[in-house]
A and B are shown apart, each in its own frame.
Chain A
C-alpha cells in the first residue's frame, strides 16, 4: 500500500452531501480488470457534457465548465473538501482508485460512508473527518482564496490552514500505523496463520457444516 505521512496540496470544494460512489466512478468503467486508469473518468457524468464509454479518448470530450474540477483555479487539486456521508452506496473500490489516479491524496468531510472510508484507508488515500463547523470554515476559506492549500500531517493528526490555524482529527491507531508505514495488510494477517488454523480446528469441532464448502 501507498505510504502516507504528510501532504500539502491544492484544495477543491465539492459542496454537496451524500455523494455516492456511482457518481464518483460510473458503472461502465467498472468493467476494467485493472486498478489504474480511472482518473480521466472520476465524476464522469458531472465532469463531461457528453456521455463516455470505456476505451474512448476522454481528452476529446466536452468538459462541463460548471463542474468544480474543471475550473481553472482548481486545476491540479489533490485535496477534496466534501460534505456529509461522502462515498455512500456501492462498495466499488474503483472509487478510491479513481481519486488516486486523478492525483488526490486527501479527502476531508464531516462524515464518510463506512465501506468507502475503509477502501480509502486500504489504498493510501487519507479520509479526514473534521467537525461540521470546521468543514464550514474550510469551505468559506477555499471559496474565497484562490490557490488555497492545506497541509495534512498524519503523524500529528492535524490539518493546517494557510494562515496557520491547526485543526485536529482522529483516526484509529491501527489504520494510522498501516498508512504511516505502508504495510501490507495480508502480510500482517498471515503472521497470525497459526491462530487462524487453531481457530479452524476448534470451529470444525463445534460446527462442522461450516467446512463442507463448495467443490469446484
Chain B
C-alpha cells in the first residue's frame, strides 16, 4: 500500500464518485450553518422545491450579527434582526437543529462545533465561512465554502471538489514561555505569505504542535485561510481523544470504542512525500504583532515597523499603502505603538484557555487610561459560564474590561461593536484588513496575553518581560 497523508486518508474516505479529470463528489458529514451565508441558500432550495438531503447533519447557530449586550431584548438593528429571524424560520421549516441566542450552547460557529462534539475526528466538515479550517485541529477535513456550495451540501450532502496538493508545516522545538499558538501561526504566515498555501491542504506537525493543547491547535488551524489554504489539520493523538471524550454529540460507550479504533489511523504515514514542506524552529519564535493590513505584515514584538523600501519590489507599494492606512512610520518600535481599544475574542482566541491566559496577565492591574474600551467576548455561552465559575469575569471587570455575551463581535464588526475611524486596536482575531473592525479602524493582531498586557499598559509590551 502506498503511504498516505492525513489529507489523503480523509479525502479518500469521502469520495462518492470520481470523474476522469479527477473532479470528485465528496461526502460531507457535518454542515455548520450561520445566519449570514445561509439565507440565499435556503431560498434557493425553496425556489427549486428541494429539501435537505440529511437534515440532521446540519447544525445552525446565529453568531455574526448578534449584539453582545442586552440579550434579553430583541435585536435593535432591524436588518440584523431580519437575518437572524430568517435563520429561525429556515431551520424550523427544514427541520434543522439551531441553538437559540440565549441558549447557553450558543456561540461562534467554529467554537461550538468542537465544544459540542459535533465535529469529531475523521469527519468532513464544511460551513459557509472561511475559518471552518479551525475544526481540522481534530483531524477532520474542514473547509469554508460559499453560499452556492451551502445550498449544494444542503441538497445533496456532497460537494464537487478537486483535490488540493499536500503541504506539511513542521514546527519542532520548544516555545519560549509566553509564546503561544497564535504566535506560531502568525510567524508561519509572515514566512510563507497570505498566498503561500494557495492550492494546498496544510498539515501542521512537529513536536511544538504535539505539545500544544487541542485548543491551541484550533488557533493554528483557524488561521490557515490567512495563509491561503482552505484546510489545515493536525493528526489525531491522545490529546484529541481526551478532548472529544464525553462531549454532548460525541460517540459514547461501544460506539466510542469503535470510533477511537478507527481514529488511530488519522495521521500521515511514515515516509509520505508532501508536495511542499516547510520547517519552523519553535525555539526562536517571539510574540508577534501585525503592523499592516494583511496578516503577513507581521514582526516580533521586539522589532520595529519595517521600511517598505527594503521589501521586494512587488510588495513595496502595498506596504506603503498599509503604513498610510495604519498611520505608522518605518522604524517605529512596536512597543511604542499606543492603542485605543483592545478586543479579546473571535474564533481564533476566545476559548477558555485564551481567557485564562489573558486573565493571568490582567490580575491586579487596571486598564490603562488611554484605552477607551477593552472588551472580552467569550466564544460561547458555555465558555462564559466556565470563566465565571473560575472568577475570570471578576478579574476582567475589576480591571475595567467589559465582559460581554458570546458572538463574533468586533472580529468583523457586523454588530454594534466596532472601531471608529482612526482608532487603533490590539485584537486577538484573525484579520487586520482595512475596515475589518470598522471603517477606518486600525487592527493589530496579537495573542490573548499580548492583548491583555497592551490593555493594562496602553501600548504593546513584550509579554516575556511583563
Contact = CB atoms under 8 A, between A and B. Distances in A.
B198 A113 contact: yes
B123 interface: yes
A60 interface: no
Nearest to A190: B156
Q: Which of A18, A32, A123: most chain B CB closer than 10 A?
A: A18
Interface string A129-162: 0000000000000000000000000000000000
A33 to B, nearest CB: 4
Interface string B59-80: 1000011000000000001011
Nearest to B27: A199
A196 interface: yes
B195 interface: yes
Interface residues of A, number: 62
Interface string A18-33: 1010110011101111
B303 interface: no
B97 A214 contact: yes
A186 B414 contact: no
A32 B82 CA distance: 9
Contacts of A96: 146
A173 B262 CA distance: 36
Given A27-B412, A93-B37, A186-B155, A114 B230 contact: yes
Contacts of A32: 79, 83
A118 B321 CA distance: 28
B199 A114 contact: yes
Interface in A26-54: 26-28, 30-35, 45, 51, 54
Given A16-B317, A189-B160, A215-B56, A203 B27 contact: yes
B394 interface: no
Contacts of A207: 122, 259, 262
A185 interface: yes
Nearest to A17: B318
Nearest to B81: A31
A210 B123 contact: yes
Contact of A23 (B195, B225, B433): B433
A185 B148 contact: yes
Contact of A16 (B37, B56, B318): B318
A118 B414 CA distance: 25
Contact of B435 (A26, A185, A195, A203): A26
B25 A189 contact: yes
B128 interface: yes
A164 interface: no
A91 interface: yes
Contacts, number: 201
B130 A85 contact: no
Interface string B141-167: 000111111011001111010100000
Contacts of B157: 196, 200
A209 B434 CA distance: 43
A122 B148 contact: yes
B131 to A, nearest CB: 9
B341 interface: no
A116 to B, nearest CB: 8
Interface in A88-111: 88-93, 96, 111
B56 A45 contact: no
Contacts of B262: 206-207
Contacts of A118: 145-146, 149
Most buried by B among A27, A30, A172, A174: A27
Given A27-B414, A31-B80, A214-B118, A186 B151 contact: yes
B327 interface: no
Nearest to A33: B39
Contacts of B86: 33
25 contacts: A18-B294, A22-B435, A26-B439, A28-B414, A31-B83, A85-B198, A88-B194, A90-B431, A91-B37, A93-B40, A113-B195, A113-B198, A114-B199, A115-B230, A123-B148, A186-B152, A189-B158, A192-B158, A195-B17, A207-B122, A207-B259, A209-B258, A210-B122, A213-B57, A214-B249
The 6 closest A-B pairs by CB, nearest first: A213-B56, A209-B251, A33-B39, A93-B146, A119-B146, A122-B148
Interface of A: 15-18, 20, 22-23, 26-28, 30-35, 45, 51, 54-55, 84-85, 88-93, 96, 111, 113-115, 118-119, 122-123, 172-174, 185-186, 188-190, 192-193, 195-196, 199-200, 203, 206-210, 212-216
